[in-house]
Copies of this chain bind each other. A is one copy, B any other.
């Protein structure tokens, strides 16, 4: 069964919304995510239900079937691998690649994405620090350790960001903080919860706003 780009986008939207909203997703939520009208969503949902990709009862919201979920994860996998390609090989900045990956994720091929994965040497995270699902659709959500929770003297690697808005990404670039950056907590200021940290490029002060949006792995 080959899906249209549009159908794939619906599945992906439901997948990411469902994760944050305990599985059942409303028509309006989807329409907001995809910039369409609720009535259009209803139409498409009914088609997807006919194909057994979503569970659907009128007025009761939508959730993915096992097949639907599998396809959605596959698309996420493609999206993230393409992002790695764009950043690591073509020298894009991590805040520039989303739109392009949005297109590339829909390229149809049995073999392409596995070959790409091998070429990229089996990355585990995309440039925003999100895990790349494996070939079988397995994805371990990592245990959300934020920089803000570290104690004085501890060191860590940046493995992801929570708020991946454009301004935030740009700001991190300015601070020269990237995926893989190593950070050591020098001191913490109880007054505003900011912290002084040591990075490869020197020591800088980081606000709570920032430190609570950076996923890290302790060293």
**Do B103 and A108 have beta carbons less than 8 Å apart?**
yes
Q: Is A47 located at the chain interface by the 8 A CB criterion?
A: no
Does A91 lie within 8 Å of B107, measured CB to CB?
A: no
Among the stretches A112-120, A129-137, A161-169, A177-185, the one at the interface with B is A112-120
Partner of A90, one of B91, B103, B107, B116: B116
Q: Which residues of B contact A112 (CB under 8 A)?
A: 90, 100
Q: For the complex, give the distance between the alpha carbons of A112 and B91 in Å.
A: 10
Contact A115 B90, beta carbon cutoff 8 Å: yes
A149 in the interface, Cβ–Cβ < 8 Å? no
Give the number of chain A interface residues (Cβ < 8 Å): 15
Q: With the chains together, A63 CA to B111 CA distance in Å?
A: 37
CB of A89 closer than 8 Å to a CB of B: yes
Bound-state Cα–Cα, A91 to B90, Å: 18
Residues of B within 8 A of A104 (CB): 107
Of B100, B108, B111, B115, the residue contacting A109 (CB under 8 A) is B100
Q: Is A92's CB within 8 Å of the partner chain B?
A: yes
Q: Closest CB of chain B to A97's CB: distance in Å?
A: 10
User: Digit string of A83-106 for contact with B (CB within 8 Å is 1, else 0)?
Assistant: 000000111100000001001100
Would B100 and A115 count as touching, CB distance under 8 A?
A: no
Nearest residue in B to A115 (C-beta to C-beta)? B90
Cα–Cα distance between A164 and B199 once the two chains are bound (Å): 55
Looking across the interface, which residue of chain B has its beta carbon closest to that of A114?
B90
Contacts of A115 in B (CB 8 A): 90-92
A65 to chain B, nearest CB (A): 27
Q: Enumerate 6 A-B pairs (CB-CB under 8 Å) in ascending A order.
A: A89-B119, A90-B115, A90-B119, A92-B115, A100-B109, A103-B107
Known: A90-B119, A92-B111, A104-B107. 13 other contacts (CB 8 A): A89-B119, A90-B112, A90-B115, A90-B116, A91-B115, A91-B119, A92-B115, A100-B107, A100-B109, A100-B112, A103-B107, A103-B108, A103-B109
